[in-house]
């Protein structure tokens, strides 16, 4: 994913992205040589990187778990965990079912349910899978939920965080968005910055790996592997609508704000003229009246300008809030034109309906590794 298209246009975006990457880098500095190994191999040979990830030893997994445990307080800071036994049991049972047929059946994957309206789920590289109640409330079936869980487990099992040396540490998005200052920026620049700040997820290659692993695991566990995509398309459609609406509001408020800025300039000029006129004709009643009128107008103009700036700022905050809620799931799962094809053909291949040669190239390089290792 990671679109770099706007990176060089806005220095501030660079700074924000830099902060996110730096944070991530710092958080990974403590990582094991195992991950270095996995990561190094990726550069030359992605298949080998995947194979190394899928065949990690118990000791290597312990390191991943230690890292996840270290990140956990940051992830859950200020968050309320859902303690409903029935809900926790329902999700944990699903995770156990998927784990049993995964490449990490020995790893006790654990679900943590976070109370939040956000539609979000992620894994921090170890055995912890975080799911937000907003997502749970939104899924239409266990098949959809299983696909999401399997995909997140796929990121963990594929060691994507370690192999990319980048984090999808989600709470940082909100902070990055908050730090975007509106001053001297038009609506489109702001929208560019927001998109930049929000894009820090996994690479497309690793998304595809996670998708393919999710299809394999859900298929093996007896869930419908295609439901994940149903969920995704539904949510994306809704997210796009919300985002477009908010962007429209932001642009509209910016135009209105610009209008008040122009009005203010005109009023400043009028005031300057009447002021100098009054200096020249200090005893003219007309000059004094005009001076007072333009002064009142100038004050009104300033107020209107400030008010409209507030409105622009408010619409930005509302937009940023929407994006930070919508993006967690989309930042790591950006639109991939091949996604449906990859998921569908992996499923068809597993069912024996098509040969591997008829699947997209990403399936052709991932599936042989998956099959070689088996479970």
Residues that bind Zn ion (CB under 5 A): 210, 332-333
Closer to Zn ion at the Cβ: 210 or 216? 210
User: SS3 of 120, please?
Assistant: coil
Closer to Zn ion at the Cβ: 207 or 304? 207
* Least spacing, CB of residue 171 vs Zn ion, in Å: 17
Angle at 81 between CA 80 and CA 85, to 5 degrees: 140
Reported as half-sphere exposure (CB side, CA atoms, 13 A), residue 367 has a value of 20
Closer to Zn ion at the Cβ: 167 or 332? 332
CB 49 within 8 A of CB 163: yes
Closer to Zn ion at the Cβ: 121 or 182? 121
* Least spacing, CB of residue 124 vs Zn ion, in Å: 13
Closer to Zn ion at the Cβ: 253 or 346? 346
Closer to Zn ion at the Cβ: 290 or 332? 332
Closer to Zn ion at the Cβ: 156 or 360? 156
* Least spacing, CB of residue 335 vs Zn ion, in Å: 13
CB 203 within 8 A of CB 42: no
d(CA 141, CA 138): 9
* Least spacing, CB of residue 333 vs Zn ion, in Å: 5
Going by C-beta distance under 8 Å and a sequence separation of 6 or more, which residues neighbour residue 289? none
Alpha helix positions (H), 55-124 = 58-76, 85-100
Residue-by-residue DSSP string for 9-64: T-HHHHHHHHHHHHHHHHHHHT--HHHHHHHHHHHH-HHHHHHHHHT--HHHHHHH
* Least spacing, CB of residue 59 vs Zn ion, in Å: 26
Task: Annotate 337-371 with b (16+ C-beta within 10 A) or e (fewer).
Answer: eebeebbbbbbebbeeeeeeeebbebbebbbebbe
* Least spacing, CB of residue 245 vs Zn ion, in Å: 26
CB 184 within 8 A of CB 5: no
* Alpha-carbon separation of residue 5 from 58, 196, 288 (angstroms): 41, 9, 56
d(CA 149, CA 45): 27
Closer to Zn ion at the Cβ: 107 or 213? 213
Q: In the beta sheet, which residues pair with residue 121?
A: 131
Residue 210: name the closest of 256, 253, 153 by CA: 153
* Least spacing, CB of residue 332 vs Zn ion, in Å: 5
d(CA 334, CA 199): 9
* Least spacing, CB of residue 191 vs Zn ion, in Å: 24
Closer to Zn ion at the Cβ: 147 or 249? 147
* Least spacing, CB of residue 266 vs Zn ion, in Å: 52
Closer to Zn ion at the Cβ: 67 or 333? 333
Query: Dihedral of CA 42/347/216/68: which sign?
Result: positive
Segment holding 224, helix H or strand E? none
d(CA 277, CA 290): 9
* Least spacing, CB of residue 168 vs Zn ion, in Å: 8
């Amino acid at each position: 994913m990671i679109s770099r298209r706007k990176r060089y246009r806005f220095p501030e975006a660079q700074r924000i992205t830099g902060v996110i990457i730096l944070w991530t880098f710092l958080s990974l500095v403590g990582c094991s040589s195992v991950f270095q190994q996995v990561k190094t191999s990726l550069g030359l040979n992605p298949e080998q990187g995947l194979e190394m990830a899928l065949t990690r030893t118990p000791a290597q997994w312990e390191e991943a778990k230690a890292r996840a445990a270290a990140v956990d307080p940051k992830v859950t800071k200020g968050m309320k965990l859902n303690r409903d036994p029935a809900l926790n049991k329902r999700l944990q049972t699903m995770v156990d079912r998927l784990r049993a047929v995964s490449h990490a059946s020995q790893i006790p994957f654990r679900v943590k349910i976070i109370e939040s309206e956000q539609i979000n789920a992620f894994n921090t590289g170890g055995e912890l899978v975080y799911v937000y109640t907003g997502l749970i409330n939104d899924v239409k079936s266990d098949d959809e939920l299983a696909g999401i869980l399997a995909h997140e487990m796929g990121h963990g099992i594929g060691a994507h965080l370690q192999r990319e040396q980048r984090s999808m540490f989600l709470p940082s998005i909100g902070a990055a968005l908050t730090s975007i200052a509106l001053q001297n920026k038009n609506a489109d620049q702001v929208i560019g910055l927001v998109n930049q700040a929000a894009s820090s997820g996994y690479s497309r290659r690793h998304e595809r790996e996670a998708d393919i692993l999710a299809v394999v695991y859900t298929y093996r566990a007896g869930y419908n592997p295609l439901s994940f995509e149903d969920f995704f398309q539904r949510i994306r459609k809704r997210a796009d609508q919300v985002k477009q609406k908010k962007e429209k509001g932001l642009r509209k408020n910016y135009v209105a704000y610009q209008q008040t800025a122009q009005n203010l300039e005109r009023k400043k000029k009028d005031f300057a003229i009447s002021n100098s006129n009054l200096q020249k004709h200090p005893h003219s009643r007309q000059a004094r009246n005009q001076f007072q009128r333009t002064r009142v107008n100038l004050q009104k103009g300033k107020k209107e300008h400030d008010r409209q700036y507030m409105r622009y700022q408010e619409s930005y905050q509302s937009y940023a809030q929407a994006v930070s809620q919508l993006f967690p799931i989309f930042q790591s799962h950006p639109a991939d034109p091949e996604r449906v094809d990859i998921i569908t053909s992996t499923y068809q291949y597993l069912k024996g309906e098509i040969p591997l040669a008829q699947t997209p190239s990403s399936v052709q390089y991932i599936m042989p590794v998956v099959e070689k290792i088996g479970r």
